[in-house]
Structure 1
Amino acid sequence: MVWRHAILLEPAASDDPRTDFAELLTPIDPTAPALSVGELSTQRGDGIFESIGVVDGHAQEVEAHLERLAHSAAICQLPPPNVAQWRQAVQAIARECPPGECVIKLILSRGVEHGPAPTAWVTASTAPDNAAVREHGIRVVTLDRGYDSGAPARAPWLLLGAKTLSYATNMAAIRAAHARGADDAVFVSSDGVLLEGPTSSLVLRQGDRFVTPEPGAGILHGTTQLSLFSWLETQGYETGYASLPVSALREADAAWLLSSVRLAAGVTAVDGEPLAYDAALTASINAYLLSPRD
């Protein structure tokens, strides 16, 4: 049985000075109709979202997710979210989460077509069981993203640095990976630069250095990747960002796809060719990622 809970937000202005937004947070039945048929999130995918992992009632890396929500809103020219209001909503719904792993989703839509205000809501549900992929890893294929690495700067209207609700391409990429006998995909720019997974960040190990593709190519700055890099540095490793060719993935000493809910999934094969898999380090990474983190 999947547990679910939802809260509808009446969005407050970003400069609203109040400290308690309880009257603007309305619990709703997650199984009942709640959105208008004119809602642009469902009609056009016109909105943004964040997914926050929850472990035993503790929402992980809330501030990093709220910062990225505000960043996405700015790129999409949505009203700036009131961070204090969203923080209170996350805290309220996290208290409802049962023991174990859950996922909280923050959604900010442009609202009803021709309407006066955006639509905002927060949901929580039990997370899928990711134990197998954390332990045994995943096979990936590389897929052409369809644009070169200079496209984000040249065409900002593509919204490549925002976490938008327009996820049809991302889901199609995962289906394409499955059709090719893999579990997930890694996007590559048309000029051969590594990007990210459809729903995850990519991290490579090169000796004692861990690197991830630099966000400047329209990549989302991964909250889990940021947390992992902080932990790796405490363990004595070097971390960094770089423009990486496709060959860097195939030649890596190890690689992971990272996300807030699945956490760290070690890559065991790339385009059908085996890749070194460090089971012990992957277990240590996931043990850290499952610990309470702010």
Structure 2
Amino acid sequence: MSIRRVKAAIKKFNKFLITSHINSEADAIGSQVAMAFLLKKLGKVAVMLDDSPVPSLLQFIKGTEEISKEMPHDFDYQAVIILDSPDLTRIGRVNEYIKKDAVIINIDHHISNINFGKFNWVEPELSSTGEMIYDLFKAFKMKINLDEAIVLYAAIMTDTGSFRYSNTSSKTHRIAAELIDIGVLPYEMHTKIYETSSVQDTNLLGEALQTMKLTEDGKIAWLWVTKEMLKKTKASLEGTEGIINFARSIDGVEIAILFRETGTEDRVKVSFRSKGKVDVNKLAAAFNGGGHPSASGCTVLGKMEDVEKKVLDRTKEMAK
């Protein structure tokens, strides 16, 4: 389905609920805020509702303070816009507020998206959902102001790994250039999102790096973050973001894996990163997860050691 049908749906309705996936990151947050900005410019009413809180590193961005964890009692929406989420299970408890007959507008760039909406606009070849919302601004012929440029840039920058990943295109760079011309400061954005770490989170990184192992051929690297490590370092869950990239950056490594114990007993969150030769979206899908060919994740039931063995066995098979 094209952007044109989504544009027509947005024109048709006036009151929108906007949401995204659990454990939201900058593309999810940025695309939601940008969408809310766009809808308000169009004279619509928009409420943003998420299962997870806005990460502290993103709270400097204007508009994130309007993302709620509770549904306003008097808000009767006409359509739901779900962003950057491959299926309805990924929006967590926001599902409780989705009416059975709700008109769902699904906008996403995940190749694993199952087209769950009445209106589905899925573009796996694009860098980010933020890039898609940029396209919506252009489709509506709406001029982008600085606040909007900042949230769009945050979404695009982070989902391309600061324009390093294979999903970065010449179009992505042209969009970034336009947003910079509007007034976005790349150095400031990168510093606030990537280079604002606490001592506790840095100590956690040190603990995690000590657990790192590699296969004999050096193509797969993996590491752990346990609940005990989080307790010892007093680090935040946000502090685990980016740890996997240290394993991915090792020369010769094709697949990096981070195993992280969750607050729930016998449940391990697994993140995958690839340099491009192996599609880790397929790897995550084998464990009911998903994402992108170069970055994906899943949650696996079991103790850390058992999950590690199970995931590594499957990874080695796919890496042959």
State the TM-score, normalized to the length of structure 1.
0.28
Question: Whose strand fraction is larger, Structure 1's or Structure 2's?
Answer: 1
Larger RCO (CA under 8 A, 6+ residues apart): 1
State the TM-score, normalized to the length of structure 2.
0.26
